[in-house]
Amino acid sequence: MSTPTLDDVRAAAARIASLVPPTPVLRSVAIDEWIGTRVHLKAEHLHATGAFKLRGATNAILLLDEDAAARGVAAHSSGNHAAALAVAAARRGIACTVVMPEGTPSTKRAATEAAGAQVIMCAPTLQARAATVAQVIADTGAVEIHPFDDPRVIAGQGTATLELLEAVPGLGMVVAPVSGGGLLSGTAITAHGIDPRVAVWGAEPTGADDAFRSLAAGRLVLDGPSDTIADGLVAQLSERTFRILRDHDVHVVTVTDQQTVDAMQRLAHDAKQLVEPSGAVALAGLAQLAADGVHLPLDVGVILSGGNVDLGRWSALVSSDRPA
């Protein structure tokens, strides 16, 4: 499968069920009032590794044959895929090496090392990440588990939306953050596989808006360094994820870092949830859609993608009281 289907997502859900418990769907009256409709918060920050990435990494590692598994796995990641891969590899008892860019939050590095993976730091560019992981593979024979450009990973990420639509059968829209596009691709495949009428939106920081510009241009636009507090959203679409998003008519809304911080504050004050900046981008995007006058159905799903942030940094970001 170069492009996974709803059947692949359902198979992934069955495959990972014993290792990845379902996450709750949370509600907040105050957030409903803010957005103007019923908002269902898919709490992907409540995974054992603090992010949805555990779904795709677990699915990919369980699909390795014995020979591949024996060689171990490797990946580059700004953090959440790394921790997920480390935990999934440890559960299968295989080696794991992850390449992380300098500047990765210490919470994410610590979680990866605590799970038993070897961490190699590199310069904070996509080129350095790819080159370093290629060297690891050349040296060790490890199998690369790409953080998003992998149909096994995309199918795994889709299981979040499978759970969401089971919990909220009448859902009319789902908003997910977009970085490399693995989560958003899995979201679109799953939502549209179940009901083609569900609107699927991506949300992206203005400072890392390659998906927005790529979909607008009708071709993959890869240019410029990223500049955003959402450290989990700095990757760029692959040809595969671009094609999936384009074919599913997915649109992307962009938000400023201040809007993301506002959403973090709302989630803390109104829903009592602590999420990392990337984890609040989808809610910020939904608020922007509401402000833009986009029609919102009665029930909207928002994927809170992760919660791995140093508490000191979180407090500094969410430093004021209730947003106005």
User: Can you give the binding site for its own copies, defined by CB under 8 A?
Assistant: 21, 24, 26-29, 45-46, 48, 50, 106-107, 110, 265, 268-269, 271-275, 307, 310-312, 314-315, 318-322
State how far the Cα of 192 lies from the Cα of 297, in Å rounded to an integer. 16
Q: For the chain, how many residues are written?
A: 324
- Our CB check for its own copies shows the closer of 31 and 153 to be 31
Minimum distance between the CB of residue 159 and its own copies, rounded to whole angstroms? 18
State how far the Cα of 121 lies from the Cα of 321, in Å rounded to an integer. 36
- Our CB check for its own copies shows the closer of 80 and 107 to be 107
Phi, psi of 73 (to 5 degrees): -125, 160
What stretch of H or E contains 28? none
Q: Which of 101, 97, 109 is nearest to 138 (CA)?
A: 97
Minimum distance between the CB of residue 241 and its own copies, rounded to whole angstroms? 27
Given a contact cutoff of 8 angstroms between Cβ atoms, the answer to whether 145 and 61 are in contact is: yes
Minimum distance between the CB of residue 29 and its own copies, rounded to whole angstroms? 5
- Our CB check for its own copies shows the closer of 219 and 322 to be 322
Output the six-digit token pair for 14: 């069955």
- Our CB check for its own copies shows the closer of 124 and 323 to be 323
Given a contact cutoff of 8 angstroms between Cβ atoms, the answer to whether 302 and 164 are in contact is: no
Minimum distance between the CB of residue 321 and its own copies, rounded to whole angstroms? 5
Minimum distance between the CB of residue 160 and its own copies, rounded to whole angstroms? 16
Output the six-digit token pair for 61: 């590692």
- Our CB check for its own copies shows the closer of 289 and 318 to be 318
Minimum distance between the CB of residue 304 and its own copies, rounded to whole angstroms? 9
Q: What is the CA radius of gyration of the chain?
A: 18
Minimum distance between the CB of residue 268 and its own copies, rounded to whole angstroms? 5
State how far the Cα of 23 lies from the Cα of 47, in Å rounded to an integer. 7
Given a contact cutoff of 8 angstroms between Cβ atoms, the answer to whether 167 and 294 are in contact is: no
- Our CB check for its own copies shows the closer of 26 and 199 to be 26
- Our CB check for its own copies shows the closer of 50 and 180 to be 50
State how far the Cα of 313 lies from the Cα of 315, in Å rounded to an integer. 5
What stretch of H or E contains 142? none
Output the six-digit token pair for 48: 């054992």
How large is the angle between the packed helices 6-16 and 151-167, nearest 10 degrees? 80
Minimum distance between the CB of residue 283 and its own copies, rounded to whole angstroms? 15
List the beta bridge partners of residue 201.
175, 251
- Our CB check for its own copies shows the closer of 26 and 203 to be 26
DSSP type of residue 42: E
Residue 114: how many other CB atoms lie within 10 Å: 12
Minimum distance between the CB of residue 62 and its own copies, rounded to whole angstroms? 19
Q: Which of 252, 253, 246, 276 is nearest to 264 (CA)?
A: 276
- Our CB check for its own copies shows the closer of 69 and 119 to be 119
